[in-house]
Chains A and B, each alone.
Chain A
Amino acid sequence: SSAAMAAVRGRAVLAPLGPRFRPGPRTPLRSAASAAPPLYDVVVSGGGMVGSAMAAALGHDIHFHDKKIALLEAGPRKEYDHMPDTYSNRVSSISPGSATLLSSFGAWDHVCSLRLKPFQRMQVWDACSEALIIFEKDDLDDMGYIVENDVIMSALTKQLDAVADRVEVFYRSRAVGYTWPLPSHSCDTSPWVQIELADGRRLQTKLLIGADGHNSVVRKEAEIKNIEHQYDQSAVVATLHLSEATDNNVAWQRFLPTGPIALLPLSDTASSLVWSTSHEHASELLAMDEESFVDSINSAFWSNINHSDFIDTAGAIFRSAISFLKPSGTAVRQLPPSVAKVDPESRAMFPLGMGHATEYVQHRVALIGDAAHRVHPLAGQGVNLGFGDIACLAHHLSAAAFNGSDLGSLKHLLKFETERQRHNVSLIAATDVLKRLYSTRLAPLVLLRTWGLQVTNALPPVKVRI
């Protein structure tokens, strides 16, 4: 009868936590172990921007003052004593929210003292119709910052060094196996996550955070299902030099039928290219000589080849129609800069895809960054979503530590998951829809997005939400 009562329990209304506890035949460990592997409060697997920032955020948290944190990075430690004169071709658009997170543990100051480019405006337009949307903040504050990934890593490494007594970084350490604990009420085996490194060393942890990228091993080993889709696109990146020096405080993105091309400012004379296009075209772009490459870029930004009279007329009519209602919404169109040169070794390409983990957490496991979600670069959101994950998870872990809770407990991990999934899913879905919507020349769809873009531009509240 107590089983029947269990079925009536109010808690059964909520999602059962049963599947989140992984059963499995695992070697039981003796408790008072003579040879017990070192026990950490938190282990972060993956030392990229998101993993390093997670470890640094916890390491600087007041409630983690006496806790032990480990960061596992498969690669070697990179020294960033000084930045080379040339810009790196891997850059990220950092939102003000991400900048706030980075400054919460002292990393943003380092970024500012190295190099970054603030921008105040984003101009996004459609190659098929010239429909335009301009983003800019009322107070002309910075909308975001273009920062080289190496600069961010340098700042994070510095802040990790500052808390080396709390955060142990294991370089050249790849985790090859994870052993999950049995559900908590069977008391005879170790309740911690066991980690085995490639060199045979073992660690134990109360909470494992997977920040190991879109092919996350933590996610696979935890058997968390991932919805993924390879786009038929690759992104070409390069460092470009502009024809003439300019304020260069605008981020440009033009939607071509083959994919969006973006120019992100690095300095008054240099910009970073992110061009998402078909795999074949991407390979061509990498193979062609530098002059042709520069010509292709300028043509992509300036050419009207994709216009059709029908769409142009329809777009113009619509524009004049809404100008009746909201005169301020048809803002001045600026002209993007033209490119003169490309940095010789800076051309590279990488394939694009989208991914979303069905769960972000399990008992004693949490996923952040690309391990949890992967988006198309067209929205410039990728790493910002990861930093948003960190801000949320660090907040919940800090509160849990201040409550004396078991850090691996699903109770607060689920709160993190709910908050972030609510935020991420709509953005990832919207990015995916945008990507598909803009990959076409078909008139009805072009009109749809044209008018959508124009309406969005004219209506302040919608723009602010974005």
Chain B
Amino acid sequence: QLSLFRLTVKTPFRTSHSSVDSKEMKKFQLLAHKWWDEEGEYSALHSMNDIRVPFIRDTLLSMGSNYHMGNPLSGVKILDVGCGGGLLSEPLGRLGASVTGIDPLEDNIRTADRHKSFDPVLAKRIQYKSSSLEEIVEESVETFDVIVASEVVEHVADLEMFIRCCSQVLKPEGSLFITTINRTQLSYALGIVVAEKIMGIVPEGTHEWEKFVPPEELEHLLESNGFSVKTMKGMLYNPLSSSWSWVESMSLNYAVHAVKSGAQGQSGPTDAPSETDIQQRSATAG
């Protein structure tokens, strides 16, 4: 049975597009119960916590002033976009943050809610909502200190609108963390052929190579929508040790930390989208 998914949503910018792609939702529907099997289909995402959580934690600690013993992220409001079963929301919650996790797929939210319910501390710190990013924009303007969009932007229909919505719900000088996959020959060979079809590290059909996002494109979109990109670094998965590490090259997976400008205006150049940009975007939308 198909879950409910929303194609047309109210947005302040465009009425006919949404960042949610219905085909993507169908793929995740089938695996909605498998999130918390550390050795199952999502094991690579579980191990990714070993580098993405310290990345987020240490970046915020170096920016922030007060440190609460035992709760390094205490007082920080985080939005986890595309939270899935809550794999990243839970560690952030354990570190003291108030986390709102949103995901368009209701079954994912149900799994996430059930999993956190057994831990009274997490149950209080994390709130899950079945929703797309656009739908919460109106009620959450400049609400969050941090947005994390991990392994999400390669699934969205309209990346620029996604980034604009992030900007709207982020407080000024708030942080945006993204992890995603580059669009290169290498990422096709390793990320799709090997990871999905041969080794089964990622469930088959999860990714479409055409929707992978090159870092230059992401950086450009961020800078032209009010963000200043602070850090970009490559990530590499070792299937034998089931572990991730930071690497120089961003030809496969990479992570980004960007900060929303503090002033009312935009921090980066506001270029009109070029011809190639428009063509690229319409090729990747829907």
Contact = CB atoms under 8 A, between A and B. Distances in A.
B118 interface: yes
Interface string A66-98: 110000000000000000000000000000000
Interface string B66-84: 0001111000000000000
B69 A62 contact: yes
Interface in B169-216: 197-201, 203-204
Contacts of B37: 183-185
Given A5-B199, A187-B111, A191-B118, A62 B70 contact: yes
B36 interface: yes
A29 to B, nearest CB: 9
Contacts of A300: none
Interface string B115-149: 10111100000000000000000000000000000
Given A62-B69, A404-B94, 11 more contacts: A2-B200, A9-B199, A9-B239, A10-B240, A11-B39, A11-B43, A14-B242, A17-B39, A65-B70, A402-B57, A405-B49
B95 interface: yes
Interface string A185-204: 10100111000000000000
Contact of A402 (B72, B115, B204): B72
A434 interface: no
A63 B49 contact: no
Contact of A8 (B115, B120, B200): B200
Interface residues of B, number: 43
**How many residues of A sit at the interface, in one of the four size bands?**
35 or more
B74 to A, nearest CB: 9
A306 interface: no
Interface string B81-118: 00000000011111110000000000000010011011
B34 interface: yes
A403 B53 contact: yes
Interface of A: 2, 5-6, 8-11, 13-14, 17, 31-32, 39, 62-67, 183-185, 187, 190-192, 401-406, 409-411
A67 to B, nearest CB: 7
27 contacts: A2-B200, A5-B197, A9-B239, A10-B201, A11-B43, A11-B240, A14-B241, A17-B39, A62-B69, A63-B70, A65-B70, A66-B70, A67-B70, A184-B37, A184-B38, A185-B36, A185-B40, A187-B111, A187-B115, A190-B118, A192-B118, A402-B95, A403-B49, A404-B91, A405-B49, A405-B91, A410-B38
Contacts of A406: 90
A403 B70 contact: no
B53 A5 contact: no
Interface string B45-57: 0010110011001
